[in-house]
Amino acid sequence: MSSRLNQYYLQALPSSVKQPHYQPEAHQASIVHIGIGAFHKAHQAVYTDDLLNSVGGDWRIVAVSLRSSTNRDQLEPQDNLYTVVEKNDTQMTHRVIAAIEKVMVAPENPDAVIEQLASENTKVVTSTITEKGYCLTPDNRQLNVKHPDILHDLENDSQPKTMAGFLVAACRVRRDKGLGGFTFLSCDNLPENGDTSGIAICQFAELLDSELAAWIKDNVSFCNTMVDRIVPAVTADDVSALKDQFGYIDEAMVSCEPFKQWVIEDNFIAERPPWDRVGAQFVNNVHEYEKMKLRLLNGSHSALAYLGTLQDLDFIYQAVSDSSLGRFIDLLMDDMASTLKPVSGVDLGSYKATIKARFANSTIPHKTQQVATDGSLKLPQRIFDPLLELAQQGTISKPLCLTIAAWLRYLQGTTQSGQTYLVNDPLSQPLTEIAQSTTLSAKEKLQKIAEDTGVIPTAIVENDNITNTICAYLEELNQLSVSSILDELI
């Protein structure tokens, strides 16, 4: 019978699985991470494990799940240990991570989460709650004060549901106890993720207590960060492959690519984990790194997700390996690149080539449908912003217009061969209803999405050159095959 990974099993691990060199319980937790999932486990927790291995310090992590108990239930029986499998066509490595001290499930005990965030030991709070967890307006810049969860938290500020609610409740306790604040690092793909989180959290606080909002502005620093690592959702096959190879069960494992990057704005109000000793970069300004990654990597990812899904391609590696789609991505990246300023130490040509090679990694199959989720929250920073910037420079980007048309066509819920799927997006109901209408013209659909949901910016619907291009592509996508449209564009 196979054993479950836990602290006792560590001694029995085969030597090809790297183990932590430190005694986990000898290090306290000074980081609270909100939104534990595969990405956190394969990114920030790996950097932190590297730090504990090579430098030490009280930098373990208390992770919080705002919704489900799944991660706690998988990790707790394993003493919060889990395996990270890094792989591509030429390498595969396995290591056990011990950086997470425990997982708290917020809905089970919100007071305990507030207490942890308000503890004197807490110096840094990180988050990966996906774009929708921030409860922002459609342009992803302000707090959506009409969001049902925000309304709930304004009414129940000591028993919150949202991250903003928890952070503000914890700041109230810290202020009342005479403690200082902490540094907050958003690790999600939002535009200017630190500044945006700061704006939304302070807006939320302002609605409750303006003195507390002022305290937060003075005592909490919001760092912008650029995070990068491709981490597809874990499958039952991943868990069985690990068991077959090494003979142990790890329900909490994650698989990812070998590549990882973390650029962090150096704006820490409290003690700073020396993550730069283990490969992260502290810089004065993250914006250009962030824009480069959001547009070249995430923008291309979304384009592959929508165009790939329409072509019945289940995985990103299949989409990028399709010769027409691959060539299309080159054109899309060229247009994106002309909206970017030079980034210190980065050669854009090799950056683009590396992204394509990373997408082509078939050993970590990443579902097109996974990347396609929540398009209404991803497209503003990935596609709409660069499209409008290019239009200001006098260019109507065909690749970007085709990507928007592909998203609208994707919202119809069928591939070009007629396979159906569910659209996963917080606004799926209004968006699919408009996209599937048989009476509205393509232009009316764009206008209605802009008016009813605010997702498409008015600057786009007011620009005839842009709307005509998107509408022409949408009509073509309803009549022709994706590959013939791509071939024509190329």
Site residues (vs ligand CS2, CB under 6 A) = 189, 228-230, 298, 301, 370-371, 378
Task: Round to whole Å and give the CA distance between 6 and 18.
Answer: 14
Query: CA neighbours within 13 Å on the CB side: how many for 419?
Result: 11
Strand partners, 100: 61
Query: CA neighbours within 13 Å on the CB side: how many for 120?
Result: 3
* DSSP string of 41-94, one letter each residue: HHTHHHHHHHHHHHT--S-EEEEEESS-SHHHHHHGGGTT-EEEEEE-SS-EEE
SS3 102: strand
Cα→Cα distances 367→362, 375, 421, Å: 11, 15, 13
What the block records as the tokens of 319 is: 């989409």
In whole angstroms, the minimum distance from the beta carbon of 293 to ligand CS2 comes to 7
- Give the residue with the Cβ less far from ligand CS2, 160 or 191: 191
Judge contact between 233 and 41, C-beta under 8 A: no
In whole angstroms, the minimum distance from the beta carbon of 370 to ligand CS2 comes to 6
- Give the residue with the Cβ less far from ligand CS2, 336 or 442: 336
In whole angstroms, the minimum distance from the beta carbon of 229 to ligand CS2 comes to 5
Secondary element (H or E) of residue 283:
strand 281-283
Judge contact between 224 and 192, C-beta under 8 A: yes
In whole angstroms, the minimum distance from the beta carbon of 292 to ligand CS2 comes to 12
Cα→Cα distances 96→48, 81, 160, 336, 377, Å: 13, 7, 33, 38, 34
- Give the residue with the Cβ less far from ligand CS2, 233 or 480: 233
240 exposure class (CB count in 10 Å sphere: 0-12, 13-18, 19+): exposed
- Give the residue with the Cβ less far from ligand CS2, 113 or 310: 310
- Give the residue with the Cβ less far from ligand CS2, 260 or 445: 260
- Give the residue with the Cβ less far from ligand CS2, 19 or 88: 88
- Give the residue with the Cβ less far from ligand CS2, 378 or 398: 378
> How is residue 216 annotated by DSSP?
H
Task: Round to whole Å and give the CA distance between 33 and 12.
Answer: 30
Task: Round to whole Å and give the CA distance between 335 and 333.
Answer: 5
In whole angstroms, the minimum distance from the beta carbon of 131 to ligand CS2 comes to 9
- Give the residue with the Cβ less far from ligand CS2, 371 or 402: 371
What the block records as the tokens of 218 is: 């003075």
- Give the residue with the Cβ less far from ligand CS2, 60 or 229: 229
In whole angstroms, the minimum distance from the beta carbon of 238 to ligand CS2 comes to 16
- Give the residue with the Cβ less far from ligand CS2, 41 or 378: 378
What the block records as the tokens of 385 is: 């912003």
Judge contact between 343 and 289, C-beta under 8 A: yes
In whole angstroms, the minimum distance from the beta carbon of 312 to ligand CS2 comes to 20
Name the residue with the smallest CB distance to ligand CS2.
Answer: 301
- Give the residue with the Cβ less far from ligand CS2, 136 or 371: 371
In whole angstroms, the minimum distance from the beta carbon of 22 to ligand CS2 comes to 27
In whole angstroms, the minimum distance from the beta carbon of 386 to ligand CS2 comes to 15
Task: Round to whole Å and give the CA distance between 212 and 216.
Answer: 6
408 exposure class (CB count in 10 Å sphere: 0-12, 13-18, 19+): buried
In whole angstroms, the minimum distance from the beta carbon of 257 to ligand CS2 comes to 9
In whole angstroms, the minimum distance from the beta carbon of 302 to ligand CS2 comes to 7
**DSSP strands (E only) in 152-198:** 183-186
In the chain the first and final C-alpha atoms are separated, in Å, by: 56
